[in-house]
Structure 1
Amino acid sequence: MGRPQMFPSLSAILCLSLLLPALHCNNNLLCYYSPIMYRNKTFDLILTECPPAELCMTGSGRYGNHSALSTRGCMASTGCGQIHPLPLKGTVYTMTYACCGYNYCNAGHRVAVNSVPLVVAMTMLLLTGL
């Protein structure tokens, strides 16, 4: 006696919903965004799609020897590796920008989930009828 297939269309919908992000049709990067903010503040990162030809970016602002500001987002490659002064509320911080060129690479300490292995596993489950 074989296993009864419960909700086969639900399995197909689940697999399709997991597959769509992996089939991202354009070459724009998916990166995390957070505004320029003080290090001791918290902000839930927002997933964003960069404009064409931009990279994921993390920015760090220093005041003397103290790391004081942070930011994430997208940036043209010409700004990567640059150091710029940033006046903010009467203080001039030194902002340094670093870039990376693959999806979710500016996640920082968070773990970015690569959806491709998950999609392959779900597809195999669907095909084998589990």
Structure 2
Amino acid sequence: MGRPQMFPTLSAILCVSLLLPSLHCNNNLLCYYSPIMYRNKTFDLILSECPPAELCMTGNGRYGNHSALSARGCMAPTDCGQAHPLPLKGTIYTMMYACCDYNYCNAGHRVAVNSVPLMVAMMTVPMLLLEL
């Protein structure tokens, strides 16, 4: 004779609570990250979650009138719009930081190009439904 199952509702609650951490349940922004690097270099963007109260950031490093460096990530709102000197390999660049406040907003052109198939699919589905 088997043991009767005690508290089936409690078991279900426990199972659901173990799954919840895998869901994105907070209000932290999802942004892309890339380290500070020279503009002519390529880097696969990494999806990251910002700490609470931080914004997505895009950094642009200039040497005189030449845009030479780039970066992406998260940043405190007080640092947004600021310019900071950045010494790198004997050269001092001026890093300018621009921030935005919605998920993936610092993606840039690279991700926008990859979203074209998604846009085509989104436009095709309603047309297929109209034919039914």
Q: Any gaps of 5 or more consecutive residues in structure 1?
A: 1-19, 122-130
Q: Provide the rounded CA distance (Å) in 2 between the counterparts of 1:27 and 1:47.
A: 16
SS at match of 1:96: strand
Q: Cα offset for 1:24?
A: 2.9
Matched, 1:98 2:98: yes
Q: Provide the rounded CA distance (Å) in 2 between the counterparts of 1:102 and 1:46.
A: 16
Q: Provide the rounded CA distance (Å) in 1 between the counterparts of 2:79 and 2:96.
A: 10
Q: Cα offset for 1:96?
A: 0.2
Cα-to-partner distance string for 1:12-63 (whole Å, 9 max, x where unaligned): xxxxxxxx9xx73100000000000000000000000000000000000000
Give 1:40's aligned residue.
Answer: 40
Give 1:73's aligned residue.
Answer: 73
Q: Provide the rounded CA distance (Å) in 2 between the counterparts of 1:26 and 1:72.
A: 21
Q: Provide the rounded CA distance (Å) in 2 between the counterparts of 1:61 and 1:38.
A: 9
Give 1:31's aligned residue.
Answer: 31
Q: Provide the rounded CA distance (Å) in 2 between the counterparts of 1:35 and 1:25.
A: 27
SS at match of 2:25: coil
Cα-to-partner distance string for 1:76-126 (whole Å, 9 max, x where unaligned): 00000000000000000000000000000000102286x9xx8xx8xxxxx
Choose between structure 1 and 2: higher helix proportion: 2
Q: How many residues align?
A: 95
RMSD of aligned alpha carbons:
2.2
Larger Rg belongs to: 2
SS at match of 1:103: coil
The structure whose RCO (Cα within 8 Å, separation 6+) is larger is 1
SS at match of 2:97: strand
Q: Which residue identity lines up with residue 26 of structure 1 in the other structure?
A: N
**Could you list the runs of 4 or more consecutive aligned residues of structure 1 that deviate by over 6 angstroms after TM superposition?**
none
